[in-house]
Amino acid sequence: MTRPAQPTARYDADALDSFCRAVFLAAGADEATANAATRAMMHGSRLGVDSHGVRLLGHYVATMTQGRVNPRPTPRILSEFGAVATLDADNAHGALGAYRAQEKAVELAGRFGIGAVAIRNNSHFGPAGAFALAAAETGCIGMAFCNSDSFMRLHDGAERFHGTNPIAIAVPVKDGDPWLFDMATSAIPYNRVQLYRSLGIPLPEATASDPQGHNTTDPERAEMLAPLGGEFGFKGAGLAGFVEILSAVLTGMKLSFEILPMPGPDLSTPRGMGAFVMAIRPEAFLPQESFQDNMARYLAALRGSQAVPGRTVMAPGDREWAEAERRRTLGIPIDQTTVDSFNELAHAYGIPTPVPAASPP
């Protein structure tokens, strides 16, 4: 049983960013790959989505050196029709494929008001929100979808079928951080099950199932995740299905249950994953200023909405942007397991390890 790793040190974002890039380059990745993979991991580490943060550096390097991920890929547009395109990522790091596709979607949205790009031959892309955000940073409403290896049962199902199949959406906000929504369509992520196992505490109700598909709160008996919605899990399963259709059916890539497990042991065979991104340019529908005013009015009403005593009502992303601000000041907490892996990578590639910015509180 693994104990949950405790944060032992905090690092400046720039130091982590430079270290990750240097390691990727030293491991044989080209600049584009190093930049995209680092940018996506830093999205996770800056915003507090640590499961998809820099802890993945060692894993990603292994996938590049062992053959699963092409460290010097040549992604190319396979086909284009009007406002949509299909990108072959050439087994790139998933973040490279997704950023490239979103750039293309944004370009298409500039010409057609909306753009959608299906991605073939991609790999794990990390935090879906990063690619929705990339569109929002250009003034578009951005979306990103990806299926993944099976963890989630269907509604009334008794085996793993869909992945945690995330949906991410970002909406630009004038003079503020984007509205940023990044959800797994499962009730909880699988690493939550692992964490609760380590802590020896029960899972929330209706979030995981035993091997017969019956809900269990015992993390030791949890074999698969439940779809979002508990008794109304047909909703989470349906949303996961939509992600599957966009990512796998519309691309001809692998269905969730066909995708090789992320952690291995096989790190040499490309995973053949699909994904899908979309961008909408608000000014194609109404004047930019009207859109910005409407969004500001909506967010002000939402944040001013009455809360349960002792709680706070937040817009999607508010929690993450607040954490990003905290981390800008205090540094990014890194657990000891990840520090150890940094030391190994630094040693292997002859690169200085990043220096902690401050002691943990």
Q: Tally the residues of the chain.
A: 361
Smallest separation (angstroms) from its own copies to the CB of 190: 15
Is beta strand 141-146 parallel, antiparallel or unpaired with respect to 76-81? unpaired
What angle (nearest 5°) sits at the alpha carbon of residue 173, between those of residues 167 and 174?
Answer: 165
Q: 204 vs 5, 24, 198, CA distance in Å?
A: 21, 38, 15
CA max distance for the chain:
56
Closer CB to its own copies, 197 or 254, in the complex: 254
Closer CB to its own copies, 59 or 254, in the complex: 254
Smallest separation (angstroms) from its own copies to the CB of 329: 25
The count of other CB atoms within 10 Å of the CB of residue 21 is 19
Smallest separation (angstroms) from its own copies to the CB of 176: 14
Smallest separation (angstroms) from its own copies to the CB of 129: 11
List beta partners, residue 256: none
Closer CB to its own copies, 191 or 290, in the complex: 290
Smallest separation (angstroms) from its own copies to the CB of 293: 9
Closer CB to its own copies, 89 or 339, in the complex: 89
CB neighbour list of residue 2: distance below 8 Å, 6 or more residues apart:
194, 198
Closer CB to its own copies, 67 or 238, in the complex: 238
Smallest separation (angstroms) from its own copies to the CB of 266: 22
Question: Between helices 336-349 and 57-66, what is the axis angle to 10°?
Answer: 40
| CA 57/CA 28 separation, integer angstroms | 14
Closer CB to its own copies, 29 or 169, in the complex: 169
Residue 217 burial by CB count (10 A; 0-12/13-18/19+): exposed, middle or buried? middle
